[in-house]
Structure formats: structure tokens, C-alpha cells
């Protein structure tokens, strides 16, 4: 099974991809992680990508397409992958289709994680990770249980991404809306697009994703019913109109007086009634 997680920066794609890796035996392919590794190694690709990434812009299509194509050829990618952060442009989406077809693979699901921009800026500008195991934390929402010690591996070293600051986040969000969101209609038309509420808790999002990957609807029927019950009841149209402002109601037209029908037309033959009970 091959899937794409689509969503703005900070939507939780990386966190969820790691959880789905274990659950479904898939491999997470994050172009962001690959590019950061290239920057850290000082390779030619890293040197080209560094300043673009720090500015929050997108690395040229041909570089990331080549990166993903090579990665998809590795033996561990043959059982299925979760693409996290790729594709990010319509050119990348087209290239992904072609490379999957060439490699005899197919795309099973594209899942959009929907999150409001205001929440994303808060999420991203407070996040950091354990430098050793990569466990994610947040200044306000998810602190380590013991201050300064990673819950998962006990390391005392943490790091922040250089592009996780409020200014760059705005550029990254802008890049998402202008360059990445236009991919959504392409996948909707192909019938592979699903979406989940990325504002829900991490566990709830994992559950919704797992349901989709198991071939069930994203929202459990019970949860759907609860949501419906919580919705405000439908109110009659007249009661919904604001008392003051709002669209004024058109005064009812005075009905013309009914014309008297000719007597003959008024008189209908009496219908035969059922037998009277005695």
C-alpha cells in the first residue's frame, strides 16, 4: 500500500507517518528529512537546498523528484510507503504518477490533514525534537514528563528546526496554499482523496487514518451520530431571521379577493359515502 499524507506544515504529517509505519508495516519517506540530512552532510544537493529551506520556500521540483525516485527503488520501499511532504506541486504529483507506473506500483490513498492556519503558527513555532530519537515535543502542549529529559530515550539533547520560526512559517504556509493545495482537485478527480480533521487529538487523528487505511470511512458511525447530536437543532426559517438587521422580510402581498365561481361549478356532486353504521 502506498499513501500520500498531504497537509500544511505543522499538520502532523510526520508524527502520524511514524505511527502508521509501525501499525501497517510501511516506510515513511519524508522529503523534508531527506533534504535536512543532505544539508547536514554538506552534499551538493544539501548546498543547493540549504538557503531555500531556511527561507521557507520550495526546493526545485527536479531535485526532489530525483530524490524520491531513487528512494522508491530501495528494497524497503517495496512493501509500501507513506509519502510525507511529497508531492508539493502539481509537477511533482504528475511525476509521482509516472514513476509509480514505471516501477509497477500504485497510489492507494491520498489523505489530506486539514488544520487552520492560526493553529499551525502556534504549533510550529513551539515545536522541538529529541536530538537522539526524534521524539517530538512542544513548549506548551507537550513537554517532556521530566524537564529536559526525553520521555522515550532519556537523552538530554533537543533541537529545533531553523525554519520553525514565526516568519518562515508564514512563507511556508503561503507556499502550501499557492503551490501544494492546487494538487487536491487532481487527486479528488482520480478518486483517491480522503480527508481527516488534523485539529483533533494525535490519537484521534491516528484512529481516523487507520480506519481509512483499513478500508473503512474516516469517521466511525458512532462518532458520526455523536457529532450529529451535538449539532444545533434545525430552526424554522422564520425563527432564524434576525429580529433587527439582516434581510428584511418582504411584506406579504395582499391576496386578491377570491372571485366567486359560477354556482354550477361550485356544486360538486355529493360523493357516495360508505354504508352508515347502524
Active site residues per annotation: 13, 88, 127, 161, 172
CB of 87 to ligand AMP, least distance (A): 6
Place of cell 528494497: 75
CB of 245 to ligand AMP, least distance (A): 45
Q: Per-residue DSSP letters for the chain?
A: --EEEE--TTSSHHHHHHHHHHHHT-EEEEHHHHHHHHHHHT-HHHHHHHHHHHTT-PPPHHHHHHHHHHHHTSGGGTT-EEEES---SHHHHHHHHHHHHHTT----EEEEEE--HHHHHHHHHTEEEETTT--EEETTTB--SSTTS-TTT----EE--TT-SHHHHHHHHHHIIIIITTHHHHHHHHT-EEEEETTS-HHHHHHHHHHHHTTS-SS-HHHHHHHHHHSPPP--HHHHS-SSSSSPPPPPPPPPPPPPPPHHHH-PPPPPPPPPP-
In the range 15-44, which residues lie near ligand AMP by CB under 6 A? 31-32, 35
**Are 30 and 84 in contact, with CB atoms under 8 Å apart?**
yes
As given in the structure block, the three cell numbers for residue 116 are 487552520
Rounded to an integer, what distance in angstroms lies between the CA atom of residue 95 and that of residue 85?
Answer: 14
CB of 27 to ligand AMP, least distance (A): 16
Binding residues for ligand AMP, rule CB under 6 A, total 17
| Closer Cβ to ligand AMP, 54 or 211, answer by number | 54
Q: Which of 53, 183, 208, 213 binds ligand AMP (CB under 6 A)?
A: 53
Query: Does the protein bind ligand AMP through residue 88 (CB under 6 A)?
Result: yes
Q: Which of 8, 12, 85, 198 binds ligand AMP (CB under 6 A)?
A: 85
Residue with the shortest CB distance to ligand AMP: 32
Query: Does the protein bind ligand AMP through residue 198 (CB under 6 A)?
Result: no
CB of 35 to ligand AMP, least distance (A): 5
Cα radius of gyration (the chain)? 29
| Closer Cβ to ligand AMP, 52 or 202, answer by number | 52
> Which listed range, 38-46, 86-94, 97-105, 115-123, lies at the site for ligand AMP (CB under 6 A)?
86-94
CB of 36 to ligand AMP, least distance (A): 7
> Which listed range, 52-60, 69-77, 234-242, 243-251, lies at the site for ligand AMP (CB under 6 A)?
52-60
CB of 228 to ligand AMP, least distance (A): 35
| Closer Cβ to ligand AMP, 60 or 185, answer by number | 60
Query: Does the protein bind ligand AMP through residue 172 (CB under 6 A)?
Result: yes
Q: Which of 15, 21, 48, 52 binds ligand AMP (CB under 6 A)?
A: 52
| Of 132, 124, 139, the residue nearest 158 (C-alpha) | 132
Residues of this chain that interact with ligand AMP (CB under 6 A) are 9, 31-32, 35, 52-53, 56-59, 64, 85-86, 88, 92, 163, 172
Amino acid at each position: 500500500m502506498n499513501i500520500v499524507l498531504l497537509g500544511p506544515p505543522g499538520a502532523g504529517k510526520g508524527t502520524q507517518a511514524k505511527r502508521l509505519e509501525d501499525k501497517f508495516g510501511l516506510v515513511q519517506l519524508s522529503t523534508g528529512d531527506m533534504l535536512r540530512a543532505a544539508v547536514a552532510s554538506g552534499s551538493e544537493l544539501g548546498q543547493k537546498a540549504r538557503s531555500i529551506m531556511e527561507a521557507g520556500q520550495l526546493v526545485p521540483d527536479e531535485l526532489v523528484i530525483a530524490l524520491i525516485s531513487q528512494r522508491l527503488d530501495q528494497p524497503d520501499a517495496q512493501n509500501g510507503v507513506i509519502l510525507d511532504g511529497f508531492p508539493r506541486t502539481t509537477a511533482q504529483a504528475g511525476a509521482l504518477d509516472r514513476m509509480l507506473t514505471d516501477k509497477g506500483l500504485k497510489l492507494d490513498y491520498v489523505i489530506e490533514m486539514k488544520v487552520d492556519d492560526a493553529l499551525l503558527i502556534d504549533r510550529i513555532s513551539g515545536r522541538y525534537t529529541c536530538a537522539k530519537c526524534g521524539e517530538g515535543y512542544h513548549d506548551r502542549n507537550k513537554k517532556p514528563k521530566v524537564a529536559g529529559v526525553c520521555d522515550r530515550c532519556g537523552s538530554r539533547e533537543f533541537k529545533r528546526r531553523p525554519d520553525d520560526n514565526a516568519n518562515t512559517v508564514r512563507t511556508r504556509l503561503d507556499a502550501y496554499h499557492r503551490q501544494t493545495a492546487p494538487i487536491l482537485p487532481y487527486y479528488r478527480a482520480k478518486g483517491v482523496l480522503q480527508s481527516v480533521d488534523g485539529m483533533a487529538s494525535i490519537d484521534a487523528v491516528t484512529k481516523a487514518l487507520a480506519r481509512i487505511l483499513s478500508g473503512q470511512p474516516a469517521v466511525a458511525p458512532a462518532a458520526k451520530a455523536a457529532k450529529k447530536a451535538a449539532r444545533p437543532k434545525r430552526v424554522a426559517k422564520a425563527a432564524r431571521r434576525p429580529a433587527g438587521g439582516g434581510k428584511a422580510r418582504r411584506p406579504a402581498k395582499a391576496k386578491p379577493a377570491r372571485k366567486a365561481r359560477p354556482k354550477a361549478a361550485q356544486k360538486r356532486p355529493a360523493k357516495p359515502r360508505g354504508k352508515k353504521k347502524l
